[in-house]
Structure 1
């Protein structure tokens, strides 16, 4: 990178930093969403809610499907 391109690129540095930060946050959220421990914890919370009467069995089944569907790794289109 030459000195001229460095000087001309400086105004875009905050934008590049923001894009890098957003990508980092997206990857972290993806890891947490597909982490087996997190998925198991969410499913256990559903079981506890049914046991305490806060949630019906039908609602638990719908929530389980949603949690398990989100736990599937997404294919990235690049």
Structure 2
């Protein structure tokens, strides 16, 4: 893009900058959400909650399945793509 194109698009610079920032925030949030170490810690905490009687078997199974799905995605390396999906 030439100088004239840049000058013409200058009023849209804040929008382009905001979109870039939102994409970066989304990528980091997905990276943290699917981080295998964090998911393993949540699995351990969930097991402690089960042993303490804070959750019943049915809820434990449901939450464990969700965490295992997140762990699988994190281990495949599909997190942090920034497109709202974790491949």
TM-score by length of 1: 0.81
Question: Gaps spanning 5+ residues in structure 1: where?
Answer: none
Tell me the distance in 2 between the aligned counterparts of 1:8 and 1:68. 49
Cα RMSD (Å)? 1.5
More relative contact order, 1 or 2 (CA 8 Å, 6+ apart): 2
TM-score by length of 2: 0.74
Between the two proteins, the alignment pairs up a number of residues equal to 75
Deviation at 1:37, TM superposition (A): 0.8
SS of residue in 2 equivalent to 1:54: coil
Would the aligned equivalents of 2:46 and 2:60 in 1 still touch at CA under 8 Å?
Answer: yes
| Superposition map of 1:1-78 within 5 A | 1-71=1-71, 72=73, 73=78, 74-75=86-87
